[in-house]
Structure 1
Amino acid sequence: MDVRVTPTPQLSGDIQALSSKNYTTRYLLAAALAEGQSTIYYPAHSEDSDAMRRCLRDLGAVLEEDDTKIVLTGFGGSPKLVPENKQLNVGNAGAVLRFLMGIASLLPEVHFINAYPDSLGKRPHDDLIDALEQLGAKITHREGKLPITIHGGDLHGGAINVSGNISSQFLSALLFLAPLLKEDTTIQVTDDLKSKVVVGQTLEVIREAGITIEASEDLMRYHIPGNQHYQARTYRVQGDYPGSAAVLAAAAVSESDVTLRGLTEDSKQGERAIVDVLRMMNVPFTHEDHVIHVKSKGKLKAVEFDGDAATDAVLAMVAAAVFAEGTSRFYNVENLRYKECDRITDYVHELRKAGANVEERQAEIIVHGRPEGVEGGVEIDAHYDHRVIMALTVVGLRAKQPIVIRDAHHVAKSYPIYFDHLKALGAQVEWLDS
């Protein structure tokens, strides 16, 4: 479905931040890898977290859910496909695919289908495939892409290498898997390691589940003792900074009086940096007791920002910078090219359609701000990408004419009620019949 975004000069209201998708998927996996019952309070509901729920059920976990929590009975170190069809469908969830490729290597055969050939089906997984083969798995694939079939079940520990140049999710998958192997495992990250902050989240969750992992200070080397057992635990999911970044950007570019609750000040989510960027852009706000209150006049100044640690908030930051005074630069963001779409080339192309003055480099987005606003009055393509949809909506709120975002329903991948939240703040957004 498409969405029409009509210019909206003022936003006001009070909303509760969505629960973190990243923490939800990790807690679900840690709980499934434990024997016994774990409880996860305030889990996120999105296509990604729902894909993890569905696949864990298929692997033998039992999930019971009410309005506030999930009670999950895990399969421990012995996943088993239920029913015996040897297939898993992760939808369009890249992190879920990669995490479960590791766990699937414990089974004799698992086939991951290609449900989204134009999105996840285009993303590369070679580095994880290579690492799992070092552990003894045999994997068939299409040039590193879906569909992927894993023949495992007889893995061994030892010393392995994995590249972190494309995605930190490959390393996270190995960190979840390695404690279950009989032998100790050492992991050396080669090349660069993208999104180290997200690896920190993975380590945080795994250690909460009772697992011992020794990590070097730079997160490039690991020693994981073998024959460990995940413990059943009670977890509480914090508010989601990646999705909230778009709401905060919308408040920043508008004349606003917006309160967003549930965002922990000391969160380890890298996208918490949206708070620092708004501060650098001279947006008036307070952040205390897990509550952010933005009271903006829509007047912003340009910034320079290293986006590697805050990957999922960069597009929202760029959207705000479209209306800032001066030239902004977001650098060290090449891994944006390897997401649901090429979040540099594809996003910049759509921003230009809407009237923004933006440039791209291999690992940078450069924004020449237009405080007077952009023209709008166009249809733009979301490229099946939830982050692109949210960020382009921010731009539409300050355009001079409405914009239509095609395939905006893909926002449900991480933030199903994004447009409901914007409407609650007074934004003029409406679904269109296809």
Structure 2
Amino acid sequence: MDMIVRPTAELKGEIGALSSKNYTTRYLLVAALAEGTSTIYYPAHSEDSDAMRRCIRDLGAVLEEDDEKIVITGFGNHPRDVKELDVGNAGAVLRFLMAIAALSPKVTFVNTYPESLGKRPHSDLIEALESMGVQIEHQDGRLPITISGGKPKGGKIKVSGEVSSQYLSALLFLTPLLEEDSEIEVLGDLKSKVVIGQTLEVLEQAGITIEAASDYMSFRVPGRQAYQAKNYTVQGDYPGSAAILAAAAVTKSDVKVHRLMERSKQGERAIVDVLQMMDVPLSHEGGTVHVLGNGRLRPVEFDGDAATDAVLAMVAAAVFADGTSRFYNVENLRYKECDRITDYLNELKKAGAQVEERQSEIIVHGRPSGLEGGATINAHFDHRVIMALTVVGLRCREPLLIKDAHHVAKSYPQYFDHLSALGASVEWVK
């Protein structure tokens, strides 16, 4: 379905932040890898987290869920022998489970999104797993991928961090279960280090011991460990909330978003800092971000590597700043559901934005008077692009039509409901 976004002068109201997708998928996985029963309170519901639910159930976990919690009886280090797994369009779920599938005799990950996840590379993780004795059939590093494992070996393991930190996270989930101790060395520049901090946080909560270098470039992982069954509570999600906060920043607003921890390890928490740098009137106290937007913003320069999933929302706000903004060290945006630099900026230009790209930079020449709009936008089936383009549409003089906007459900199914509740003029069309 498509979405029409019409000019909206004012947003007002309060919402609770969505539960974190990143933490939910990690808690689901460690609960499945435990022998015993774990409880996860306030888990996220999105296409990504639901893909993890579906796959760990296929692998032998037992799940019981109500409105508040999900109770999981895990399969430990003995996943059920299954022939196929369908992760949908969830890249992190695929990569984490490629590692866990190495404990199974033979599993094929099918390609159900050839135009999105099917185009994304996984070669760095494949090479690392092959060095551990795992046999892998693949299409030049892409789906469909068949893992023939059973007995992966620990020891000295090298993995590139140049494209994604998810490869490293995958190995950190697997190696504690191996017979041998492991030493993991990261090659190149590790992207999104802050997300590795989230992985290590969840692993520690699950009773796993890992020695990490301060720069996260090397790890010592004792083998023969067991995940412990625990209770977990999922915190609010900054990546999804970033678009809501950006929308409040570019309009006249009085908006409160609850359940956003001040000391969260989510790198996208930086959306609050960036909006403050842009002189957006806001406060952050007691887990609530309160934005009193006036639509006036200053330009910024920002290193986006630690806040990858909030950068597009930051750029959307910068489109209306009084001056030129620069977001750098963001090349890993090119390797997401789409090329979030080239593809996103091309769509912004259709709406009238003045933007430039470099290999690892986004440059935005702000237009504080707003954009012309009146365009049909291809969001490339990318949830983050859909959310960010919606923010831009609120300050266009003519409506934007965003094609296939239902793909926002990958991470934030309630996004348009929440925006509408705050007063945004958004309408589904077939």
TM over 0.5: yes
**Distance in 2, Cα, partners of 1:226 & 1:35:** 16
TM-score, normalised to structure 2, is 1.00
Aligned to 2:48: 48
Q: In the alignment, is residue 258 of structure 1 matched against residue 255 of structure 2?
A: yes
Supply the distance in 1 between the matched residues of 2:174 and 2:427 (Cα, whole angstroms).
44
CA distance in 1 between partners of 2:159 and 2:104 (Å): 21
- Per-residue deviation, residues 171-205 of structure 1 (Å, max 9, x unmatched): 00000000000000000000110000000000000
Q: What is the rounded CA distance, in whole Å, between the counterparts of 1:43 and 1:403 in structure 2? A: 33
Q: 1:95-128 CA deviation, whole Å, 9 max, x = no partner?
A: 0000000000001100000000000000000000
Give 1:296 shift: 1.0
Q: Equivalents in 2 of 1:373, 1:277: separation in Å?
A: 20
Deviations 1:141-183 (A, max 9, x none): 0000000000000211100100000000000000000000000
Rounded to whole Å, the distance in 1 between the matches of 2:385 and 2:231 is: 34
Q: Residue 425 of structure 1 corresponds to which residue in structure 2? A: 422
Distance 1:425 1:395 in 2: 16
| 1:287 counterpart residue number | 284
In 2, Cα distance between the equivalents of 1:57 and 1:160?
29
Cross-structure match for 2:187: 190
1:271 aligns with 2:268: yes
Deviations 1:213-239 (A, max 9, x none): 000000000000000000000000000
1:228 corresponds to which letter in structure 2?
A: Q
Aligned equivalent of 2:238, options 238, 241, 248 = 241
* Counterpart code for 1:283: V
Partner residue in 2 for 1:167: 164
Residue 53 of structure 2 corresponds to residue 38 of structure 1: no
The question of 1:78 aligning with 2:78 is answered yes
Distance 2:342 2:175 in 1: 36
Residue matched to 2:22: 22
Q: Which of 196, 200, 220 is matched with 1:199 structurally?
A: 196
1:216 aligned residue: 213
Q: CA RMSD in A?
A: 0.4
For 2:7, the equivalent position in structure 1 comes to 7
2:346 partner letter: H
How far is 1:23 from its partner? 0.1
State the distance in 2 between where 1:426 and 1:296 align.
14
1:343 and 2:340 equivalent? yes
Amino acid at match of 2:97: L
Corresponding residue to 2:294 among 285, 291, 297: 297
CA distance in 2, matches of 1:61, 1:398: 47
**Counterpart AA for 1:30:** V
Alpha-carbon distance in 1 for matches of 2:277, 2:284? 14
1:90 aligned to which of 70, 87, 110 = 87
Which whole-Å deviations, capped at 9, do the CAs of 1:301-340 have from their partners, x for residues lacking one?
0000000000000000000000000000000000000000
Q: Which runs of 5+ in 1 are unaligned?
A: none
What amino acid is the match of 1:71? V
Distance apart, 1:420 and its partner CA: 0.0
Q: Deviations over 1:381-404 (max 9, x none)?
A: 010000000000000000010000
Please tell me the residue identity of whatever aligns with 1:19: S
Residue 116 in structure 1 maps to residue 100 in structure 2? no
Deviation at 1:73, TM superposition (A): 0.3
Structure 1 residue 37: Cα displacement: 0.3
2:59 counterpart of 1:59: yes
Aligned equivalents of 1:151, 1:35: Cα separation in 2: 24
SS in 2 for 1:192: coil
Which residue in the other structure is 1:148 paired with? 145
Letter aligned with residue 235 of structure 2: Q
Corresponding residue number in structure 1 for 2:378: 381
Distance 2:131 2:223 in 1: 16
Partner of 2:321 in structure 1?
A: 324
Unaligned runs of 5+ in 2: none
Distance 2:56 2:351 in 1: 41
Q: Which amino acid aligns with 2:120?
A: R
User: In the aligned structure 1, how far is the partner of 2:37 from the partner of 2:231?
Assistant: 9
Equivalent position SS for 1:324? coil
Moved over 3 A (4+): none
Is the counterpart of residue 410 in structure 1 residue 407 in structure 2?
yes
Choose from 383, 394, 398 the match for 1:397.
394
The amino acid that maps onto 1:194 is K
Q: Secondary structure at the match of 2:308?
A: helix
